[in-house]
């Protein structure tokens, strides 16, 4: 009997192993946490044909793989939020209303990308973030901070953006991790929590300027 030849896809049709590994890292950490994200687990999640050794063709090791996966998700989140931020320039609306419209847009996007957000939160609160990603994360969000200085000149815009992103991801984590059912009441509870944290950054009405109202 003649031997069957193994089918080899043309190069243009082969899956991008690097992207498969980045997606697999997100999936493994979203399901099992940082501790469960071994090189072997990520390779197995990516494809049955990918071995541990393949990871080292694309990344220096697990730390770089997780860093690149985080920066990819971080850039994706930044791009979406920047698009949604146009409502903040509708100055005829009270600030709280503008932030509420933005919140509902973010909520919709996040609940459609639960694995990415769950991964981002788990990585953000890990030692790996402090060691490898903090400065790169700040670079990604600096452009938005510069834009917000026009709207809120009395506030440290870098701190405002950092607090908003951290509080939003943390508030949405129970939904993305499956611990809490998605509901309008939880969305409102989470918004009030994030809004309260942001108000703390603004001068009071009796102080240097007006606060969030």
Q: What is the pLDDT of residues 95-153, one digit of tens each?
A: 899 999 999 999 999 889 999 999 999 999 999 999 999 999 989 999 999 989 988 88
Q: Return the closest-CA partner of residue 165 out of 201, 134, 141.
A: 141
Q: Where are the domains of the chain?
A: 70-199
Average pLDDT over residues 29-36: 89
pTM of the model: 0.84
Give the largest CA-CA distance in the chain: 90
pLDDT at 6: 43
Q: Return the closest-CA partner of residue 72 out of 105, 37, 26.
A: 26
Q: How close are the terminal C-alpha atoms of the chain, in Å?
A: 80
Q: Return the closest-CA partner of residue 136 out of 65, 71, 64, 60.
A: 71
Phi and psi angles of residue 197, each rounded to the nearest 5 degrees, phi first = -65, -40
pLDDT confidence of 44, banded at 50, 70, 90?
A: very high
Q: Rounded CA gap, 186 and 171, in Å?
A: 9
Q: What's domain 70-199's architecture? A: Orthogonal Bundle (1.10)
């Amino acid at each position: 009997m003649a031997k069957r030849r193994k089918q080899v896809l043309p190069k243009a049709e082969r899956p991008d192993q690097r992207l498969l590994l980045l997606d697999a890292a997100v999936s493994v950490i979203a399901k099992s946490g940082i501790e469960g994200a071994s090189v072997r687990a990520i390779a197995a999640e990516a494809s049955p044909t990918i071995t541990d050794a393949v990871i080292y063709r694309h990344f220096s090791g697990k730390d770089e793989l997780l860093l690149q996966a985080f920066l990819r998700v971080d850039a994706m989140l930044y791009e979406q939020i920047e698009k949604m931020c146009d409502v903040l320039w509708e100055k005829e609306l009270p600030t709280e209303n503008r932030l509420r419209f933005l919140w509902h847009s973010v909520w919709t996007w996040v609940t459609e990308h639960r694995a990415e957000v769950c991964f981002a939160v788990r990585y953000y609160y890990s030692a790996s973030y402090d060691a490898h990603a903090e400065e790169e994360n700040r670079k990604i969000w600096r452009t938005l901070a510069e834009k917000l200085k026009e709207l809120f000149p009395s506030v440290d815009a870098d701190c405002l953006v950092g607090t908003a992103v951290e509080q939003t991801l943390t508030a949405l984590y129970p939904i993305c991790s499956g611990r809490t059912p998605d509901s309008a009441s939880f969305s409102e509870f989470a918004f009030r929590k994030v809004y309260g944290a942001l108000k703390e950054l603004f001068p009071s009405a009796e102080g240097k300027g007006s606060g969030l109202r």
